[in-house]
């Protein structure tokens, strides 16, 4: 899944706390990563293990500016796990891997500063 990102994006409209709780953001470990040459923009196919409750899910991530497939395996990342799957070419992206834009707009992955159990939910 992909969402446009920009440093100049305005703040979103206020939401209720219950709306925030509807977004299920979980932590997982990347167990496999491979190039995604058929994607329109440079991307990697990620397989992320979210633990026994959520399981293993796939994500297309436009993170090739700062990461290679080899450097991502074993890394923990955060992702939205309750969006509907999205077909990207012949690949089904099941979760939205989260990141922030750097000064050039390239994605920097969002992750905890300490190892936590896979499947932990952001609150």
Tens digit of pLDDT for each residue in 14-63?
999 999 999 999 999 999 999 999 888 999 999 999 999 999 999 999 99
Strands of 12-75 (E only): list them. Answer: 25-35, 44-49, 56-61
Look at the pTM and tell me if it is higher than 0.85: yes
104-109 mean pLDDT: 95
Task: Please provide the distance, in angstroms rounded to a whole number, between the alpha carbons at the two ends of the chain.
Answer: 22
What is the reported pLDDT for 1? 47
More confident of the two residues 6 and 116: 116
- Any residues with CB less than 8 A from the CB of 47 and at least 6 apart, and which? 30, 31, 32, 33, 56, 57, 58
């Amino acid at each position: 899944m992909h969402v446009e990102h920009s440093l100049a994006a305005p703040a979103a409209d206020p939401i209720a706390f219950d709306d925030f709780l509807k977004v299920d953001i979980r932590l997982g470990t990347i167990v496999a990563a491979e190039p995604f040459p058929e994607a329109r923009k440079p991307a990697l196919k990620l397989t992320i293990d979210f633990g026994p409750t959520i399981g293993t899910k796939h994500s297309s991530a436009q993170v090739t500016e700062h990461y290679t497939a080899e450097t991502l395996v074993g890394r923990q990342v955060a992702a939205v796990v309750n969006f509907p799957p999205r077909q990207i070419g012949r690949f089904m992206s099941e979760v939205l891997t989260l990141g922030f834009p750097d000064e050039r707009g390239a994605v920097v992955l969002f992750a905890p500063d300490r190892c936590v159990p896979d499947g932990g939910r952001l609150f």
